[in-house]
């Protein structure tokens, strides 16, 4: 499994937090049990207060699997999936 950093951003006008139908569905996507059914392991998630940015640290077989699973976020704004490494891995290889 590869580690990825995922960033989703949307505008204040399209913020799903105020829409109970959208918010509930998105919460189900970031629920670890549901993600695991799709081969995605969500390790951490956070929303930057007032910024309309969601950050996820996840593991998945590849970026395509992850993009497919997180597609609903992409429908509400941007979705960036970046392969990542731990600090220890970066130090061992001597470069980011």
Residue-wise pLDDT for 8-39, tens only, equals: 999 999 999 999 889 999 999 999 999 999 99
At the top level of CATH, which class does the domain 2-93 belong to? Answer: alpha beta
Q: 4 falls in which pLDDT band (50, 70, 90)?
A: very high
Cα–Cα dist 3/62, whole Å: 9
What pLDDT was estimated at residue 54? 97
Residue-wise pLDDT for 40-82, tens only, equals: 999 999 999 999 999 999 999 999 999 999 999 999 999 999 9
Tell me if residue 57 falls in helix, strand or coil: strand
The structure tokens listed for 34 are: 């549901």
Find all residues with CB under 8 Å of 43, minimum gap 6, and list them: 3, 57, 58, 59
Cα–Cα dist 35/88, whole Å: 26
The structure tokens listed for 86 are: 């731990």
What pLDDT was estimated at residue 21? 87
> Taking the model in full, what pTM does it have?
0.91
Strands 40-48 and 2-9: unpaired
Give the residue extent of every domain in the chain.
Answer: 2-93
């Amino acid at each position: 499994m590869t580690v990825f950093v995922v960033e989703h951003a949307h505008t204040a006008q399209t913020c799903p937090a105020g829409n109970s139908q959208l918010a509930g569905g998105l919460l189900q996507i970031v629920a670890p049990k549901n993600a695991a059914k799709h081969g995605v392991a969500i390790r951490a998630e956070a929303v930057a207060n007032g910024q309309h940015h969601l950050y996820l640290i996840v593991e998945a077989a590849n970026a395509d699997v992850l993009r497919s699973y997180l597609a609903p976020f992409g429908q509400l704004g941007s979705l960036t999936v970046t392969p990542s490494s731990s600090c220890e891995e970066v130090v061992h290889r001597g470069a980011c």
